[in-house]
Amino acid sequence: MNRVNNGFSHSVFYIISLLLPLISSGLCMDPFSYDQTLKSESECLMEPPQATVTTGGGGFRELKINDNGGIRNVVERTDLEEGNIYSISAWIKLRNENQGKVGMILRRDNGRKVYGGEVMAKKGCWSMLKGGINADFSGPIDIFFKSDDLAAAEISVQNVRLQRFNKTQWRLQQDQVIEKIRKNKVRFQVSFPNESSLKGSVISIEQNKPSFLLGCAMNYRILENDRYKEWFVSRFRLTSFTNEMKWYSTELVRGQENYSLADRMMTLAEENKILVKGHTVLWDDKTWQPSWVKKITDPKDLKNVTLNRINSVMKRYKGRLIGWDLMNENVHFSYFEDMLGTNASAIFFSLASKLDPDIPLFMNEFNTLEYANERIGSPVNVKKKMEEIVSYSGNKKIKGGIGAQGHFPPQQPNLAYMRSALDTLGSLGYPVWLTEFDMAKCPGQVKYMEDILREAYSHPAVKGIIIYGGPEVSGFNKLTLADKDFKNTGAGDLIDKLLKEWKQGPAEIPIQNHEHNDEEEGRIIRFSPEISLLHGHYTVTVTNPSMKNLSTSFSLEVTNEMGHHLQEVQLVINA
């Protein structure tokens, strides 16, 4: 690439280093602990791996399984200390049944039970159960492993391990992962023709578009209120519409489609360079069908109108969306399966992936991260449903996606559980999104929201987050980000803080005297230090005011899609 600017030209090369100086942080690569090795989650091993000592937390313990008293699967009691996060892992195998869900339960002396996590265990090999607890009390607990469907004697448990993290340690661990998964090291090598062209030269960078987007839902009120619109477009680059694309909105009367609101919101988003995730092609809950659909009793008729719906909405917005919620809540509900057959969701995925093969098609479910004791929309069940869809004939290569709505209750979240839930969802290899994240007001709301958002951001499977909130005028009553005068609430301040933190600020890159300084054919070569940059699209500008006002820009993609963590950028400044 050669460009001429103010009489100067430069060449830009991107060299992806083959020597991989992977960040040698204290990140533990031990499959038992929170190393986020997604693969280990889905593997079922012939032998449970032996213990190795981990880093990143304190209080590491290997717990003994207590067979005394004839009660199997009770692990010895252990003391928790308030304010700490305990991650707990165990290896589970079934003796006879082919597979079954096994959960971890932590029981206090007062009888209160906390659910810590769940795994789909199998016969003949060992599956890892991960999870844990945010201790909001000090005192002893007993750890149990049990199943709703299986007898205790059916379940073998081994290598139960517990690790304690204080809040600082947990945060440190998140930051180490963020460094690894959301950033690259970048180093500039600049070759100048002579000393005077070196002197005064400045490299500056500006991120135009972060790879990871924290978005926000919007609704039709944005079309009516300029201040809402202004508030929105000055912050967000990613959105989804709450109801306007839903079937009950676009075809209130059979055969009379009206996309007016969705179209106008789509235009608003596009005019402001805001990406849109479609929500939702179908909703598997009977309650939320258009009222005329609910009255249909003939499956053939329902099939006809449903296929019309999929075709209509997906063709209309093809090429304009970054993903579609194809099936909303098809783990909790089964309207289409009940009416059309057990493979209804799978058939819709098959059809939709042909209509729009380029974007991920999501299942979108609630309670998956929010409640450790969820029985229906649990990560294991969501994973199982997606696996069924993919195993349906012809669906092997569909682009799937997992949406976890994330309507969290107003209380301290169980981050250890949330992490294990994301591990389970992520083990499918599809992008995982928090699609409707909110929390009602409560004394700890802002802190809890921050904990959840950071947990999501530091998980490698999570590719996007959409907040379900807005300014008071938007009518998002649960999560208000700004009051009627558009003054931020505490939650609004938090979102602004994270938007800023998750976007790289503009910076000048120092050109250093470096041990690798070199001279080649009389040219002077200098290096910048290795700098850590958030993934995304950048503009790099080289200026030198003393040199006929040299100023030249080019774009740079910082990404580890090639699997490399160091990018070297060569700049050749020429006359």
Q: What is the x/- site pattern for ligand NAG, positions 342-381, by CB under 6 A?
A: xx--------------------------------------
Q: What is the x/- site pattern for ligand NAG, positions 54-93, by CB under 6 A?
A: ----x-----------------------------------
How many residues make contact with ligand NAG (CB under 6 A)? 25
Binding flag, residue 261, ligand NAG (CB under 6 A): yes
Site for ligand NAG (CB under 6 A): which residue of 60, 248, 392, 554? 392
Sequence-distant (6+) residues with CB within 8 A of 110 are: none
The interface region with ligand NAG, picked from 24-32, 211-219, 378-386, 545-553 by CB under 6 A, is: 545-553
Is residue 320 within 8 A of residue 245, CB to CB? The reply is: no
Shortest Cβ distance from residue 548 to ligand NAG (Å)?
5
Is residue 219 within 8 A of residue 243, CB to CB? The reply is: yes
Site for ligand NAG (CB under 6 A): which residue of 393, 485, 521, 561? 393
Interatomic CA distance for residues 101 and 150, integer angstroms? 8
Shortest Cβ distance from residue 486 to ligand NAG (Å)?
25
Which residue lies nearer to ligand NAG by CB, 138 or 260?
Answer: 260
Give the residue nearest to ligand NAG (CB).
Answer: 575
Q: Look up residue 49 and give its DSSP letter.
A: P
68 three-class SS? helix
Which residue lies nearer to ligand NAG by CB, 158 or 258?
Answer: 258
Sequence-distant (6+) residues with CB within 8 A of 234 are: none
Q: Look up residue 435 and give its DSSP letter.
A: E
- Is 561 catalytic? The answer is no
5-64 residues near ligand NAG, rule: CB under 6 A = 58
**DSSP of 191-246, one letter per residue?**
EESSHHHHTT-EEEEEEEEESS-EEE-B-GGGGT-HHHHHHHHTT-SEE-BSSTTS
**Among 485, 480, 417, 426, residue whose Cα is nearest residue 451:** 417
Which residue lies nearer to ligand NAG by CB, 19 or 575?
Answer: 575
Interatomic CA distance for residues 14 and 540, integer angstroms? 13
Binding flag, residue 522, ligand NAG (CB under 6 A): no
Site for ligand NAG (CB under 6 A): which residue of 77, 108, 235, 254? 254
277-306 residues near ligand NAG, rule: CB under 6 A = 304-305
Q: Which H or E run includes 456?
A: helix 445-457
Residue 71: burial class (beta carbons within 10 Å; 0-12, 13-18, 19+): exposed
103 three-class SS? strand
Instruction: Could you list the beta-strand ranges (E) of 48-201.
Output: 58-63, 65-66, 74-80, 85-94, 99-108, 113-122, 126-134, 139-146, 155-165, 183-192
Binding flag, residue 193, ligand NAG (CB under 6 A): yes
Is residue 220 within 8 A of residue 470, CB to CB? The reply is: no
Which residue lies nearer to ligand NAG by CB, 522 or 563?
Answer: 522
Binding flag, residue 255, ligand NAG (CB under 6 A): yes
The interface region with ligand NAG, picked from 118-126, 179-187, 194-202, 504-512 by CB under 6 A, is: 194-202
- Is 508 catalytic? The answer is no
**DSSP of 492-544, one letter per residue?**
HHHHHHHHHHTSPPPEEEPPB--TT-EEETTEEEEEPPPEEEESEEEEEEEEE
The interface region with ligand NAG, picked from 43-51, 112-120, 258-266, 285-293 by CB under 6 A, is: 258-266
Is residue 60 within 8 A of residue 162, CB to CB? The reply is: yes
Which residue lies nearer to ligand NAG by CB, 220 or 333?
Answer: 220
Site for ligand NAG (CB under 6 A): which residue of 166, 176, 488, 553? 166
Residue 309: burial class (beta carbons within 10 Å; 0-12, 13-18, 19+): buried
Ramachandran area for residue 319 (φ above 0: left; ψ -120 to 50: alpha; else beta): left
328-347 residues near ligand NAG, rule: CB under 6 A = 341-343
Helical pair 445-457 and 490-501, crossing angle rounded to 10 deg: 20
Interatomic CA distance for residues 136 and 447, integer angstroms? 15
Binding flag, residue 548, ligand NAG (CB under 6 A): yes
Which residue lies nearer to ligand NAG by CB, 54 or 504?
Answer: 54
Which residue lies nearer to ligand NAG by CB, 392 or 554?
Answer: 392
Binding flag, residue 168, ligand NAG (CB under 6 A): yes
Q: What is the x/- site pattern for ligand NAG, positions 442-481, by CB under 6 A?
A: ----------------------------------------
Given 244, 329, 365, 455, which residue is catalytic?
A: 329
In DSSP terms, 145 is beta-bridged to 104
Which residue lies nearer to ligand NAG by CB, 21 or 83?
Answer: 83
Shortest Cβ distance from residue 547 to ligand NAG (Å)?
6
Shortest Cβ distance from residue 228 to ligand NAG (Å)?
17
Given 118, 251, 436, 455, which residue is catalytic?
A: 436
Which residue lies nearer to ligand NAG by CB, 142 or 450?
Answer: 450
Binding flag, residue 196, ligand NAG (CB under 6 A): yes
Q: Report how far Cα 46 is from the mean position of its chain's Cα atoms.
A: 31
The interface region with ligand NAG, picked from 256-264, 278-286, 351-359, 482-490 by CB under 6 A, is: 256-264
Q: Which residues are catalytic?
A: 329, 436
* Residues at the contact surface with ligand NAG, assessed by CB under 6 A: 58, 166, 168-169, 193-194, 196-197, 254-255, 258, 260-261, 304-305, 308, 341-343, 392-393, 545, 548-549, 575
